[in-house]
Structure 1
Amino acid sequence: MSTAYWQQVRSAEMKVPTDRPLADLTAELTTMLGSPDPVDRDEFAYPILATWIAEGVYDDLLAGLGDGMAAGLTQGLGESGTDSVFRRSFSALVLAECIGRDNAESRLPPVKIMEWGDRVTGWLVRERDVRGFVPGKGWAHAIAHGADALGVLAQSVHFGLTELTVLLDVVADRVLLETAAPLSSGEPDRLALATMTILRRRLVPLRIIEPWLARLTAAATATGAPDTDPYRVTGNPEAFLRALHIQVALAPEPIDVRADLLLELVSALRTTNAAYLIAPT
């Protein structure tokens, strides 16, 4: 359909059109999620699908819709610098909407949410295209969208201590992966926000958080060979530690382990910034 058709849908408060079957509309919007045109993705496909999910249009079809989005996570996986990233990244956003709908309305069996959790986490640690804003094509933002999906998963009643601990490990795995360029489009902040959502469940004790944090700290202080850029290894974990420190310290809704975690984070940042904290002579 033409851009004018979807503009009309948006102008009509995103009501479901009656001139075409829902299946056909959904298939077209799903294709548009992978469009290199940011208008198709950001102004039409994602907001319309998200609105219809939130309004219950897909309540009886939620499992199928989510499965379609989960399949989109693998399209072109392993590529970097190609347009396939848009389908993966925006599929993650729509899948998060499906999970969020279940969080609110309990529409799906636990096994389905667990399956989607496996699909999201498996994709996120294998995603190699870490571009944020792509000139002429808009936001790719796969890592940020993956972080958002982790945050929605963390709110599921089907996720207990074991699953939340896995999500924390996935955050660390993603942060510790070396990237060709630093994550510089808010991804560390979004990953930190997902971490805060996990910790707000009040299920993960400090005894699990401490070794997780130590792993990140060690990576942020790693030294490589003299002929390699150490910041390619340390930059992302350092940015994440700083983002998490800010959110733990300043978030209006504090987490249960706030005081202890702040002490741990200050110690970590003191270690990773030792060169800048030397007393003046």
Structure 2
Amino acid sequence: MSEAYWQSVMQSGMDVPADRGLDECTVELVEMLGHPNPRTREDLAYPLLTTWITRGVYDQLLSGLGDGIAPGLRYGLGHDGDVSVMRRSYSALMLAEIIGRDNNEHLMSSESVLDWGDRATAWYVREQDQRGWVPEMGWANAIAHGADLLAALARSRHFGRLELTVLLDVIADRVLTPTSYIWRHGEDDRLAYAVMTLLHRNELDPVIVEPWLARLGQGIKPPQTRGHLEAEWPSPGVRNASSFLRALHLQLALGVQGRDDLRADAELFAEQPAHRADLILAVLDQIRAEQPWLYRPTTRARPLG
């Protein structure tokens, strides 16, 4: 159907059209998630699908909807700089909405959600296209949208300690993977928030989290050399990892809140995560290791003479 048709649906209350079946509408809207025109993708397909999910239109079909969207994570995977990233990125964002609906309403079995988790993590560590805003095409933002998907999985009752540990490792893999892209659109904050969601589950002890932080810290330590370096330092990937650790430190120190549209978030984020004080110090140790002369308490100056 034409863009004008979907515009009329938007303007008439965003109800499922009476003149077309839900299956037909869904197939077309899912295809539109990969469209290069942001008006088609961001202003029509995404809001219509998410509104229908929120209204319960898909409640009896949620597993099938997710199974239909999940293959989009592999669409063009490995490509960098072309339009295929839109399909992958917005498939991730849609899966986050579907899992969020299950988190609210408890509609699905573990099998479906665990399968999507496997697909999500396999995609996320292999995504090459880390562009945020793309001129004329709008938001690609695969890193940020993937972080939102991991945060949705982290909230899921189907994910226990083992699965949450896997998510933590996937985030480290993503952060430490070399790239030529510098995160400039809040990707570090969104990934840090995904980690905070994991920590608020209170399933991951410091014996798991602190070695994970040390691994990240190793990735940002400057080379032990003087004089000329053969390559830029910090590299874009190292800069991203450093920004991520600082974002995580700030969120641990200040705290975060849940989403108003997710009912369980009020309880999940009601208290600070367990071992918060120890984790703040552990993150700070890694940040200090990057620049040993910074981020230290002020030393008392000795009087002259």
Match of residue 238 from structure 2: 234
Between stretches 136-145 and 175-184, larger displacement belongs to 175-184
Q: 1:219, 1:167 → 2: CA distance?
A: 19
Shift, 1:32, TM fit: 0.7
Q: 2:8, 2:224 → 1: CA distance?
A: 56
Residues 77-118 of structure 1, C-alpha deviations (whole Å, 9 max, x = no match): 000000000000000011111111111112211011100000
Runs of 5+ consecutive residues of structure 1 not aligned to the other structure? none
Match of residue 138 from structure 1: 138
Matched, 1:266 2:284: yes
Match of residue 260 from structure 2: none
Alignment check: 8 A CA contact 1:33 1:86 kept: yes
Q: 2:128, 2:44 → 1: CA distance?
A: 26
Between stretches 180-189 and 155-164, larger displacement belongs to 180-189
Shift, 1:235, TM fit: 1.0
Alignment check: 8 A CA contact 2:73 2:87 kept: yes
Alignment check: 8 A CA contact 2:154 2:198 kept: yes
Alignment check: 8 A CA contact 1:224 1:230 kept: no
Amino acid in structure 2 at the alignment position of 1:259:
A
Q: 1:20, 1:143 → 2: CA distance?
A: 35
Alignment check: 8 A CA contact 2:165 2:204 kept: yes
Relative distance call for 1:204 and 1:39 in structure 2 (3 A) is same
Amino acid in structure 2 at the alignment position of 1:274:
P
Q: TM-score, normalised by structure 1?
A: 0.96
Amino acid in structure 2 at the alignment position of 1:271:
A
Runs of 4+ that moved beyond 6 A: 278-281
Between stretches 109-118 and 247-256, larger displacement belongs to 247-256
User: 1:188-203 residue pairs with structure 2 within 5 A?
Assistant: 188-203=188-203
Q: 1:92, 1:105 → 2: CA distance?
A: 20
Runs of 5+ consecutive residues of structure 2 not aligned to the other structure? 257-268
Match of residue 119 from structure 1: 119
Q: By percentage of residues, which structure has more helix?
A: 1
What is the root-mean-square deviation of aligned Cα atoms in Å? 1.7
Matched, 1:208 2:212: no
Match of residue 243 from structure 1: 247
Q: 1:234, 1:74 → 2: CA distance?
A: 26
Residues 120-155 of structure 1, C-alpha deviations (whole Å, 9 max, x = no match): 011000000000000111000001000000000001
SS in 1 for 2:214: helix
User: 1:145-164 residue pairs with structure 2 within 5 A?
Assistant: 145-164=145-164
User: 1:152-191 residue pairs with structure 2 within 5 A?
Assistant: 152-191=152-191
Q: 2:276, 2:122 → 1: CA distance?
A: 29
State percent identity of aligned pairs. 51
Shift, 1:53, TM fit: 1.1
Residues 6-27 of structure 1, C-alpha deviations (whole Å, 9 max, x = no match): 1111122211111101111111
Shift, 1:276, TM fit: 3.9
Alignment check: 8 A CA contact 2:222 2:290 kept: no
Residues 150-207 of structure 1, C-alpha deviations (whole Å, 9 max, x = no match): 0000011011110101100011000001111222211111000000000000111111
SS in 2 for 1:231: coil
Between stretches 11-20 and 79-88, larger displacement belongs to 11-20
Match of residue 262 from structure 2: none
Q: 1:183, 1:100 → 2: CA distance?
A: 26
Q: Which one has a bigger Cα radius of gyration?
A: 2
Amino acid in structure 1 at the alignment position of 2:233:
P
Amino acid in structure 2 at the alignment position of 1:52:
W
Aligned pair count reads: 281
Match of residue 129 from structure 2: 129
Q: 1:112, 1:155 → 2: CA distance?
A: 15
Alignment check: 8 A CA contact 2:222 2:234 kept: no
SS in 2 for 1:265: helix
Shift, 1:222, TM fit: 4.4
Amino acid in structure 2 at the alignment position of 1:239:
S
Q: 1:115, 1:275 → 2: CA distance?
A: 46
SS in 2 for 1:73: helix
SS in 2 for 1:39: helix
Alignment check: 8 A CA contact 1:222 1:234 kept: no
